[in-house]
Amino acid sequence: MSTQRVVVDPITRIEGHLRIEAMLDERGVIKDAMSTGTMWRGIEIILQGRDPRDAWAFTERICGVCTTVHALASVRAVENALGIKVPDNAEIIRNIMFLTQYVQDHVIHFYHLHALDWVDVVSALKADPAATAALAQKVSPSWPLSSTGYFSDVASTLKKFVESGQLGLFQNAYWGHPAYKLPPEANLMAVAHYLEALRWQKEIIKIHTIFGGKNPHPNYVVGGMPCAIDLNSDNAINIERLNLIRDLINNAITIIEQLYLPDLLTIASFYLDWAGIGAGLGNYMSYGDVPQNGIGDPSKFRFPRGIILNKNLAEVLPVDPTDGQQIAEEIAHSWYDYPDGKAALHPFDGVTQPHYTGPKPPYENLDENGKYSWVKAPRWKGNAMEVGPLARVLIGYASGRPDFKEVVTEALGRLNAPPAALFSTLGRTAARGLESRLAVYWLKEEYEHLVANLRAGINVTADTSKWDPETWPAEAKGCGFTEAPRGSLGHWVHIKNGKIADYQVVVPSTWNASPKDGKGQHGAYEAALLGTPMADPKQPVEILRTIHSFDPCLACATHVLGPDGRTLATVKVR
């Protein structure tokens, strides 16, 4: 039997270190795949013995791309353990930072990490600037930068760059591959917008700087937010800061509506065959987020909570990350040991010991029948799950939420595609754009909510009644969760005598990038690659398309045991 093995390592344009090995059948179709996290850092074990009020800063460094999401999950975990309910303004400010992260991160993913899988930069050289301008004006009539002159400038920039002979980031890629289907004009438009988006992403993120002092890695505080509000002070959140935020949000709406979505739909219209590729597991999960009545009331989340199994949109099942029995992590194919040969452990009980059994580097191949990744295999009631934008959009849609229905129906109508098209690589990429559209308007609503509070004289940003460790119980356990841009994120903390006894993190990319479990069920990346035909195994653009559609973040994903063999902790593979 002829089997060809394709290795892509490093997978570039992601966060972290990921390796994919795909086994092709004689027709060049992927029949088996291995997803390998090739980095492990051990953050959770580093957290042991520390002040739980510091944990947000450590865990925030799990990832600088999805910065803030771990900090948010961490302060929520500690607040949950200590019974702290943060003031309304702090919740709103957190929501504003959360939604800002969504909009910024999704735009960066689309243009700077994913677009080059669909856009042929070299083909753009052949574009006619006038025809490009006509295309741009047609797909986004209100976007101002769409003149022939503008595209002539971009084209000449590109030409000079290519002629310099130093192609930098763009060398050795798959340009000219038959899988690239955009006409030159669409390619040129996308290249121009790659640059526009690069300029814009540093603007929108200033919202983090205003509230958190810097980005990446803005500051959080257990019990609220560190930025005080005082409309009579030049040293706190005041009208000047609010005006800047408002302008940045309005600008973001323009970018989403006039740049991101038109580009997304234009590009998608040339790749509708990818609506039939890359479906993967068909199981989706969301913890839900953006609370409207406190984090304790999931029924009022803007992103609804739920589970969909086997692509069944007729039923949304309940999920509860704080329930110790629903989630467990397996290590059948991960480089760890569990005590007593156990197969799966819930995060609150988890014990892990790193134990590398792979080949000695440098190596050519890993063994799909043995252990092959630093990522563990989390499972919900034994099921492998996909998390992220597609999961959230499907759960919102299947829950009957009118806002989700509206954006989904409109996009499917524009592409003349049925709802089943969402179960695909293209659907995953489209869902990210659709939820960005929801997120940017929610962002504006959250801002208006904050202003309404201030108008009513409510300006409290922190509850410090339990700041002092003297007020804490001797022992407490808590769970903090969030829906990070890449999916469901949970932090579990165990506090003893004012210090962290154990800390565990189960990250979105742990779910999606997971290797097989004990029953041989593939993780989401692996499952999505199965059945994909490859035109040229030496230029594996098909693998990149599907893997990038998940927006991998490998800085997030594994578990560790302390050197004394006692403690448990979850660790980031990155």
Partner 1 sequence: MEKALARLTTYELLQAHGVDRRSFLKFCSMMAAAMGLEATAVGKVVEALEKKPRIPVIWLHGLECTCCSESFIRSSHPIAQDVVLNMISLDYDDTLQAAAGFQVEEIRKRIMKEYPGEYILAVEGNAPTKDGGVYCTVGGQTFLDILRETAEHAKVVVAWGSCASNGCVQAAHPNPTGAMPVHKLIHGKPVINVPGCPPIGEVMTGVITYILTFGRLPELDRIGRPKMFYGQRLHDKCYRRSFFDAGQFVEAWDDEGARKGWCLYKMGCRGPSTYNSCATFKWNNGVSWPIGSGHGCIGCSEANFWDNGPFYQRLSAVPLPGVESTPDQIGKVAAIAAGVGVAAHFGSFLVRRALDKNKAGGERQSSGEHE
d(CA 420, CA 273): 13
Active site residue 479: no
Choosing from 53, 70, 193, 522, the catalytic residue is 70
* Nearest-approach distance from CB 527 to partner 1, in angstroms: 21
SS3 per residue for 315-331: CCECCCCCCCCCEEEEC
DSSP 536-554: -TTS-HHHHHHHHHT--BT
* Nearest-approach distance from CB 235 to partner 1, in angstroms: 2
d(CA 275, CA 501): 47
* Nearest-approach distance from CB 7 to partner 1, in angstroms: 7
Handedness of CA 154, 156, 158, 160 (dihedral sign): negative
Joined together, the tokens standing for residue 468 give 């002092």
- Spatial CA neighbour of 306 closest among 331, 287, 283, 325: 287
Choosing from 334, 436, 509, 514, the catalytic residue is 509
Choosing from 63, 91, 437, 446, the catalytic residue is 63
* Nearest-approach distance from CB 143 to partner 1, in angstroms: 19
Residue closer to partner 1, measured from CB, 121 or 411: 121
* Nearest-approach distance from CB 113 to partner 1, in angstroms: 8
Residue closer to partner 1, measured from CB, 65 or 394: 65
Half-sphere exposure of 59 (CA within 13 A, CB side): 40
Active site residue 66: yes
Residue closer to partner 1, measured from CB, 165 or 457: 165
Crossing angle (nearest 10°) for helices 425-455 and 88-108: 150
d(CA 51, CA 64): 22
Residue closer to partner 1, measured from CB, 14 or 99: 14
Choosing from 329, 373, 392, 556, the catalytic residue is 556
Choosing from 392, 428, 486, 548, the catalytic residue is 486
Residue closer to partner 1, measured from CB, 154 or 408: 154
* Nearest-approach distance from CB 543 to partner 1, in angstroms: 8
d(CA 345, CA 328): 5
d(CA 329, CA 493): 17
Active site residue 5: no
* Nearest-approach distance from CB 522 to partner 1, in angstroms: 21
Residue closer to partner 1, measured from CB, 491 or 574: 574
* Nearest-approach distance from CB 10 to partner 1, in angstroms: 5
Q: What is the CA radius of gyration of the chain?
A: 23
Choosing from 217, 428, 553, 559, the catalytic residue is 553
Handedness of CA 408, 412, 415, 418 (dihedral sign): positive
Active site residue 553: yes
Choosing from 13, 15, 302, 330, the catalytic residue is 15
Handedness of CA 274, 277, 278, 284 (dihedral sign): positive
Residue closer to partner 1, measured from CB, 173 or 527: 173
* DSSP single-letter state for residue 111: I
Residue closer to partner 1, measured from CB, 208 or 392: 208
Listed in sequence order, the residues at least 6 apart from 224 whose beta carbon sits closer than 8 Å to its beta carbon are 86, 87, 89, 90, 460, 461, 462, 463, 464
Joined together, the tokens standing for residue 218 give 């803005």
DSSP 132-196: HHHHHHHH-TT-S---HHHHHHHHHHHHHHHHTT--GGGTTS-TT-TT----HHHHHHHHHHHHH
Choosing from 35, 66, 329, 334, the catalytic residue is 66
Residues marked as catalytic: 15, 63, 66, 70, 486, 509, 553, 556
